[in-house]
Structure 1
Amino acid sequence: MASLRNSLLRPSLVLVTCAALAACGTVDGVSQRIAGAVTPYKVEVVQGNFVSKEQVELLKPGLGRQQVRELLGTPLVSSLFHEDRWDYVFTLRRQGVDEPPRRLTLYFKGDALDRFEGDPMPSEAEFVASIGAKPKEARTPVLEASPEQLQRAAGKPAAPAQPPAAAGAAPAVYPPLEPAGR
């Protein structure tokens, strides 16, 4: 009796294992198709200090640390080991756009700005335009019905139209504001 049970158990165990593996492949294929069709919304993330081209043009050697801070804001990176160096780093992360971070490094001698170097910065107008611009790959959904869709929808009975309310006409009776038991 035990040998009969063992002889039936092994093939059924193999069948269950094969079915489970086949189901995993099917679910994986379906999930990949869904992931390709539906993309989650990703928030645009602005990190760091935005430094515009106009702000960089106002930088001059000899400016004090406080003047630079008022002009550009607090630096993103200031190190105890490099007291005479301030780094401004700016990144804009958006879905469908691969934009590298922009960097600006300022070097001080004592309290005065000695020199600065970094990436070319966009003007304020260019930055604002880039925020409002949609990625090139974004698909705009069609918001109009095709004639075939309109014909299919016309086959359904329409809801009865409500007569338009007269403009300025007040209702004859208002509901009470407080319960009648008071």
Structure 2
Amino acid sequence: MPEISQRRSWLLVGAVAATLSLAACSSFNERSRNALNAITPYKVEVVQGNFVSKEQVEQLKPGMSRQQVREILGTSLLNDVFHSNRWDYVFTIRRQGVEAQQRRLTVFFNGEVLDRFEGDTMPSEQEFVAAVDARGRAGKVPVLEATEDQLKKFDTAKDKAKTAEGDSPSAALPPLPPSYPPLESGR
């Protein structure tokens, strides 16, 4: 019998807590409600389809084979059974706080040869990256390749540092072992 009375007392405590929380909810003022409405859940970025750049469209020429078009644009998103001479490339991106973007390119074939293509004006790769960059940094993409002069300056600076330490530039690398151990142990 003590279990039943203990269970009833927990139910009573739960009912009182629920009643008090409902009363507290109704006492929120307008400013508190606005603050709660400002909090929005995270929405996943949705990217669908094939991004086709301006540079890719510029490579298309009438008379190309289907394989050549596929190598430039990739496999089309939509292949219609009833229109086998038409490939549709559709790209959509939905991000939180940004208007959804959609672009379309349709490629028409005459048999196995590209006849024509039509669609939206496509951005260059650099324009697209700048448009979707969440950090909002706009600017020039840095060059990630060193010139020959820059490499020579680095090598001479490294050699000077080694000679200053008393080492010769060729002594910077450890000697190679006479033989390497086997990759697998013998069984």
Would you say same fold, with TM above 0.5?
A: yes
Superposition pairs of residues 66-77 of structure 1, within 5 angstroms: 66-77=67-78
RMSD between superposed Cα atoms in Å: 2.9
> Secondary structure at 1:83's aligned position in 2?
coil
Q: C-alpha displacement at 1:37, in angstroms?
A: 2.0
Cα separation, partners in 2 of 1:35 and 1:134, compared to 1, 3 Å: farther
Q: Deviations over 1:141-162 (max 9, x none)?
A: xxxxxxxxxxxxxxxxxxxxxx
CA distance in 1, matches of 2:33, 2:50: 38
Q: C-alpha displacement at 1:133, in angstroms?
A: 3.6
Q: C-alpha displacement at 1:33, in angstroms?
A: 3.5
> Secondary structure at 1:70's aligned position in 2?
helix
Q: Does 1:111 align with 2:112?
A: yes
Q: C-alpha displacement at 1:101, in angstroms?
A: 1.0
In the other structure, the counterpart of 1:162 is: none
Letter in structure 2 aligned against 1:108: F
> Secondary structure at 2:118's aligned position in 1?
strand
In the other structure, the counterpart of 1:170 is: none
CA distance in 2, matches of 1:26, 1:78: 56
Q: Deviations over 1:151-182 (max 9, x none)?
A: xxxxxxxxxxxxxxxxxxxxxxxxxxxxxxxx
TM-score by length of 2: 0.54
In the other structure, the counterpart of 1:50 is: 51
For these two proteins, the number of residue pairs brought into alignment is: 116
In the other structure, the counterpart of 1:176 is: none
> Secondary structure at 1:99's aligned position in 2?
strand
Cα separation, partners in 2 of 1:53 and 1:32, compared to 1, 3 Å: farther
Q: C-alpha displacement at 1:34, in angstroms?
A: 5.2
Q: Deviations over 1:44-90 (max 9, x none)?
A: 22110000000000000001001101100000001110000000000
> Secondary structure at 1:98's aligned position in 2?
strand
Superposition pairs of residues 95-110 of structure 1, within 5 angstroms: 95-110=96-111
In the other structure, the counterpart of 2:131 is: 130
> Secondary structure at 1:46's aligned position in 2?
strand
Superposition pairs of residues 86-101 of structure 1, within 5 angstroms: 86-101=87-102
Letter in structure 2 aligned against 1:90: F
Gaps of 5+ in 2: 1-18, 137-187
Taking only the aligned residue pairs, the percentage that are identical comes to 64
CA distance in 2, matches of 1:32, 1:106: 52
TM-score by length of 1: 0.55
Q: Does 1:36 align with 2:37?
A: yes
Q: C-alpha displacement at 1:35, in angstroms?
A: 4.7
Letter in structure 1 aligned against 2:59: L
Letter in structure 2 aligned against 1:60: K
CA distance in 1, matches of 2:105, 2:38: 40
